[in-house]
Chains A and B, each alone.
Chain A
Amino acid sequence: MSSKDNSISIDPASEQMLESAASQELELAWDRYQAMLPQCGYGQLGLCCKICVMGPCRIDPFGQGPQKGICGATADIIAARNLARMIAGGAAAHSDHGRDVAHTLLTAASDPNCDYKVIDEKKIRALAEEFGIATEGKSKEELAKAVAEMSFAEFGQQHGELKFAQRAPDDQKKRWREHRVMPRGIDREIVEIMHRTHMGVDNDPKNIILQGIRAALADGWGGSMIATELSDVLFGRPNPLKSMVNLGVMKADEVNILVHGHEPTLSEMLVAASQDPEMIKLAESKGAKGITLAGICCTANEILMRHGIAIAGNFLQQELALSTGAVDAMIVDVQCVMPALGELAKCFHTKLISTSPKAKFPFAEHIEFDESKALDIAKQIIITAIENFPKRKGKNVCIPDIRENMVAGFTAESVFEFLGGRYRPSYRPLNEGIITGRLRGAAAIVGCNNPKIKHDYGHVTMTKELLANDVLVVTTGCTAIADAKAGLLDPGEALQYCGKGLQEICRAVGIPPVLHLGSCVDISRILVVLCNVVSQGGLGASIADLPAAGAAPEWMSEKAVAIGFYVVASGVYTVLGQPLPVQGAEGLTKFLCQDIEDIFGGKFAFESDPVEAAHMMLDHIDRKRSELKLAPVLYPVPYAPKEVAEAAVAV
C-alpha cells in the first residue's frame, strides 16, 4: 500500500511471476518502461506536432523557445489536434469491432450452415422493434438480417442521427443537438476528425474537441453499443455466473490455451472447440489430463460473461502468463496485444498464434480466422495447441498457485432483474437506495493497466475506498479483472469492504457490491444503466443530475480516451489516473477540466492517487445529492460529506 515499498504489483501471482521472470532474465513491459525513463516532456504535455513535414514542431512550455509551430499553431491547437486524433483511434478500434460483430450476425442470419446462430430471440425482437422493423410473423433470422443490415448502415450514414443515441435521456440529446455533436454516422465522424486535424483546417481548439466528442459519442452510443447488443444476440445475453481468475487457473497437467485480444467471434468458437470430446481425447492421447482455456484482457471478459470461462489475467499480465512456461498456445486477435509477445514466446515452447488479417505480430504463427469456416479453424488452432503440449515435457514450468472466486455476467437487463427481485424487475430499489441515503451514489471504474502505476493498485484501492463510502461500483475490462483478483467480485468476501448502507442493499437485493458488466465495449451497458436510472425517476431528468462518477485509474490506450470523452459528454464527472496529454496547453486543459461541464454536464479531472481520486468522486456525488435535495447519507462513512465534516468541526 505505501509508496515506499518497491513492489510492482499488488497481485501476489504477478509478483511471483515478476520474480521468476527476473531470474530468467526475461524482458517485460516494466523493464522497457524503466529503459524509457525519463520520458519525453513535450510528448507528456501534448506539445509536439508531426502532422505535416514542415515540422516536427514543438512548443517550449517554459516560454524561452518557440510558442508556435511553423504553421502558427499554438500549444492549444497542437494539443487539441493530437487529442482528437487519439479519440479517432479509439473510436475506430471499438467501432470496427462492432462492425465485425454485425458482419458475423449477418452471416449467421443468412447462411443456415454457418457455425454461428441467432441465439437470443427476445433481444433480436426488442432490437428490431427499436429499429422500427415490423416484427410480426418474422423469424429471428429475418429480423437479425434486417438489424445487421441497419447496423451496417449506421457506420456509413451521412446525415441524420444514430439510432442507439436516441436511447439517451432528452437532456443529453438536447445538449448534443444544440452543440452540434449528435453523431450522424460512425465512420463519418472519425473521418471528419482526420480531415479537420489535417494541416490548415480546423484551428479552433474547442471546435476540434467538439468534433472529437461527436466521434466519441459515435463510439459509445454507436460502435461499442452495436458490438455489445449484437454480441448478446449472437452469443446470448450474459447472466450472473461464477468463475475463477488469475494465473493459477492454468493447470500443469493440461493443455493450456490462452485467448487474448478483444473480439468474441473467435473466442466463442474456441470455447466450443476446446470442449469438443474429440479434442479432449486428442489432448489425452498426448499425455494431457484435459484442456484448459482461459483468457487475457477483454476477449476473456466476453467468454467469461457468457460461459464462465476463467480469466488468466489483465493487460499487464499477458507477458507474465507466457513467463510461466505453461502456455501451449496463446491465440490473439486485435487490440492491446503487445508486439513483445512473440519474442518472449520464443524463450519457451509456447506458440503465439495470430488470427486477424488486421493484426500480425513478430514471431507469431498466423492461422487466419474466417467466419464461414469458424469451427473448423477453431479446431485447427486447438489441435495446434494440443500438438505443442508434449514439447513442454521436461521444461521448467512455474504456475503461481493463486486464483480467486468471482461472480460476473451482469448486464443492464440482468441488473434490472436482480435489483427488482425475482418478481418485480425494476430499477426502483437502486434509485430508492440512493434517495434514502443507504447508497451514497454509484461509480464506474474502468480501464487498462499502465506500468506508470503499480499494477492493479489504482483499480483496487479506488474500488475499496468507494465501497467503504457506500458507493455501488460497476466495472468492465481490466479493472474488473483487477477487482476480481482482489476478491472484490466475490460477494462473500467483498461485503467486508462495504459501508453499512451498501451492505444492506447488497444483502436485500442479492448482488455483489462490484458488478462486472463485461468488456470495454460493454461500457455501453453502463450508458444504458444510466438511462434506466434516469427514467426510473426521482434522481433528476439528466445523467448529469445523478450522484454518480466515473474513473479510469490505470488507463493507457486511445480507446480509453474515446471512452472518457463519450462518458463526459454524456454528463459524467470522470477522473483519469494519468492526465490527458494536454497539460502544456493551458486553455485546452481549462476547457476539459472546467468549462466543458457547462456544455455537457460532465468534465475531466486528473489525479494519480486513487484514494484522492475517490474522494474527488465522492465530493462530486455529494454535490449532486445536495443539488437533488436528497436526504443525507444514512450511516456514518469514513470520508464524510464535506458540509457534514465542516459542521462537526464547528460543533
Chain B
Amino acid sequence: MKGSIYVELSKCLSCHSCELACALEHSESKELAKAIYEDPAPVARVRVEAVEGAAIPLQCRHCEDAPCVTICPCEAIEKLGPEQAVIIHEDKCIGCKFCIAVCPFGVVSLRSDGKVALKCDLCLGRTEEGLEPACVSACPSGALRFLSAEELSKQKRQAAAKREYQAAQSGKEQAKEEQT
C-alpha cells in the first residue's frame, strides 16, 4: 500500500488519539495497559501542535528528496522508493541529531534514552498487510487520511470539477432569470 498521510485541518478536534495509537503501535507489547509501563517508553511520532487555537497534527512527510537522508553521515536513513516511507535504521543511527536539525517540519525526535533518532515509519508492518497507519485508523473524526498522491489529486480534481459545474449551473440559471 503506497501513500502518504494527509490532514484535513478543519476536521481535527485535537483529541490526541493519533499520538496514543502511534506510541502503542511502536511499543513492544502492543497492549495499551502494558505499553504505558514499558522501558524505554514507546514514543509517538505524530504530534498535535497548537497554533493560535488551531490543532495541527504533524508527522514525517516522507519527502521524495529528503534532507535527512542526504545529511545522515552513516546511511542510517533510507528512502524506500517513490511514494514510500523514509525510515531510520536504528542499528546504524549514532544519534548525531543532524536529521533533527535539517528536517523542515521538526518531526524527527530522539528516543527517551537519547541514543537513536525516531520518526514516523508509515507503519510499514501495517501497510504491508493492507492496513492504514495506526494514527489514521485511530482518528475518530476522519481528519487523518492515508492516500497515494494520485488518489489525492483525483479527489481534489473531482472537488474542483464539482465546484466549476455548480458555478456553471448557477450561471445558467441566473441568465435564465435575467431573460424572464
Q: Chain A interface (Cβ within 8 Å of chain B)?
A: 38, 40-42, 44-45, 58, 60-65, 579, 583-584, 586
Q: Are A63 and B32 in contact (CB under 8 A)?
A: no
Report chain A residues within 8 Å CB of B140: 40
Complex: chain A residue closest to B35, CB-CB: A62
Report chain B residues within 8 Å CB of A586: 37
Q: Are B15 and A38 in contact (CB under 8 A)?
A: no
Question: Can you list 30 A-B contacts with CB-CB less than 8 angstroms, sorted by A residue number?
Answer: A38-B17, A38-B21, A38-B138, A40-B17, A41-B17, A41-B20, A41-B21, A41-B24, A41-B32, A42-B16, A42-B20, A44-B32, A44-B33, A45-B33, A58-B16, A60-B19, A61-B20, A61-B32, A62-B20, A62-B42, A62-B43, A62-B44, A64-B41, A64-B43, A65-B16, A579-B33, A583-B32, A583-B36, A584-B36, A586-B37
Report chain A residues within 8 Å CB of B36: 45, 61-62, 583-584
Distance in angstroms between the alpha carbons of A58 and B20 in the assembled complex: 12
Distance in angstroms between the alpha carbons of A45 and B42 in the assembled complex: 16
Report chain A residues within 8 Å CB of B16: 42, 58, 60, 65
B84 at the interface (CB under 8 A from A): no
Report chain B residues within 8 Å CB of A38: 17, 21, 137-138
Distance in angstroms between the alpha carbons of A44 and B20 in the assembled complex: 12
Within B67-104, which residues are at the interface with A (CB < 8 Å)?
A: none
Complex: chain A residue closest to B26, CB-CB: A62
Distance in angstroms between the alpha carbons of A41 and B33 in the assembled complex: 9
- Residue with the greatest number of chain B CB neighbours at <10 A, chosen from A44, A58, A60, A579: A60
B122 at the interface (CB under 8 A from A): no
B12 at the interface (CB under 8 A from A): no
Partner of B41, one of A40, A44, A63, A584: A63
Report chain A residues within 8 Å CB of B138: 38
B43, chain A: closest CB distance, angstroms: 7
B168, chain A: closest CB distance, angstroms: 38
Distance in angstroms between the alpha carbons of A61 and B44 in the assembled complex: 11
| A41-B21, A583-B36 known, 13 other contacts, Cβ within 8 Å | A38-B17, A40-B17, A41-B24, A42-B16, A45-B36, A58-B16, A60-B16, A60-B19, A62-B35, A63-B112, A64-B23, A65-B19, A583-B33
A282, chain B: closest CB distance, angstroms: 50
Distance in angstroms between the alpha carbons of A45 and B17 in the assembled complex: 13
Distance in angstroms between the alpha carbons of A505 and B33 in the assembled complex: 42
Query: How many residues of chain B are within 8 Å of chain A by beta carbon?
Result: 21
Q: Are B41 and A45 in contact (CB under 8 A)?
A: no
Report chain A residues within 8 Å CB of B137: 38
Q: Are B44 and A40 in contact (CB under 8 A)?
A: no
Partner of B32, one of A45, A60, A64, A65: A45
Report chain A residues within 8 Å CB of B19: 60, 62, 64-65
- Residue with the greatest number of chain A CB neighbours at <10 A, chosen from B17, B21, B43: B17
- Residue with the greatest number of chain A CB neighbours at <10 A, chosen from B32, B35, B138, B140: B32
B118, chain A: closest CB distance, angstroms: 11
B31-52 vs A, Cβ < 8 Å mask (1 yes, 0 no): 0110111000111100000000
Distance in angstroms between the alpha carbons of A111 and B21 in the assembled complex: 62
A307, chain B: closest CB distance, angstroms: 44
Report chain A residues within 8 Å CB of B24: 41
Report chain B residues within 8 Å CB of A45: 32-33, 36
Distance in angstroms between the alpha carbons of A583 and B31 in the assembled complex: 12
B119, chain A: closest CB distance, angstroms: 14
B23, chain A: closest CB distance, angstroms: 4
Q: Are A40 and B33 in contact (CB under 8 A)?
A: no
Partner of A62, one of B17, B33, B41: B41
B97, chain A: closest CB distance, angstroms: 17
B28, chain A: closest CB distance, angstroms: 13
Report chain B residues within 8 Å CB of A44: 32-33
Complex: chain A residue closest to B140, CB-CB: A40
A580, chain B: closest CB distance, angstroms: 11
B121-146 vs A, Cβ < 8 Å mask (1 yes, 0 no): 00000000000000001101000000
Report chain B residues within 8 Å CB of A64: 19, 23, 41, 43-44
What are the 10 tightest A-B residue pairs by CB atom distance, in nearest-first order?
A61-B36, A41-B20, A583-B33, A62-B23, A63-B41, A38-B138, A62-B41, A41-B32, A62-B42, A40-B17
A378, chain B: closest CB distance, angstroms: 44
Complex: chain A residue closest to B38, CB-CB: A62
- Residue with the greatest number of chain A CB neighbours at <10 A, chosen from B20, B41, B140: B20
A607, chain B: closest CB distance, angstroms: 12
- Residue with the greatest number of chain B CB neighbours at <10 A, chosen from A38, A42, A45, A583: A38
Distance in angstroms between the alpha carbons of A61 and B32 in the assembled complex: 9
Distance in angstroms between the alpha carbons of A64 and B42 in the assembled complex: 9
Distance in angstroms between the alpha carbons of A61 and B21 in the assembled complex: 12
Report chain B residues within 8 Å CB of A61: 20, 32, 36
Distance in angstroms between the alpha carbons of A583 and B17 in the assembled complex: 17
Complex: chain A residue closest to B139, CB-CB: A38
Report chain A residues within 8 Å CB of B23: 62, 64
Distance in angstroms between the alpha carbons of A42 and B19 in the assembled complex: 11
Report chain B residues within 8 Å CB of A41: 17, 20-21, 24, 32
B2, chain A: closest CB distance, angstroms: 24
Distance in angstroms between the alpha carbons of A137 and B44 in the assembled complex: 75
Distance in angstroms between the alpha carbons of A488 and B70 in the assembled complex: 69
Report chain B residues within 8 Å CB of A62: 19-20, 23, 35-36, 41-44
Distance in angstroms between the alpha carbons of A61 and B19 in the assembled complex: 11
A33, chain B: closest CB distance, angstroms: 14
A289, chain B: closest CB distance, angstroms: 50
A609, chain B: closest CB distance, angstroms: 13
Report chain A residues within 8 Å CB of B37: 586
Distance in angstroms between the alpha carbons of A60 and B22 in the assembled complex: 12
Distance in angstroms between the alpha carbons of A179 and B121 in the assembled complex: 52
Report chain B residues within 8 Å CB of A579: 33
Report chain B residues within 8 Å CB of A60: 16, 19
Complex: chain A residue closest to B134, CB-CB: A38
Distance in angstroms between the alpha carbons of A313 and B33 in the assembled complex: 33
Distance in angstroms between the alpha carbons of A579 and B32 in the assembled complex: 12
Distance in angstroms between the alpha carbons of A60 and B42 in the assembled complex: 12
Complex: chain B residue closest to A75, CB-CB: B36
B29, chain A: closest CB distance, angstroms: 13
Complex: chain B residue closest to A66, CB-CB: B16
Report chain B residues within 8 Å CB of A65: 16, 19
Distance in angstroms between the alpha carbons of A62 and B15 in the assembled complex: 15
B15, chain A: closest CB distance, angstroms: 7
Report chain A residues within 8 Å CB of B44: 62, 64
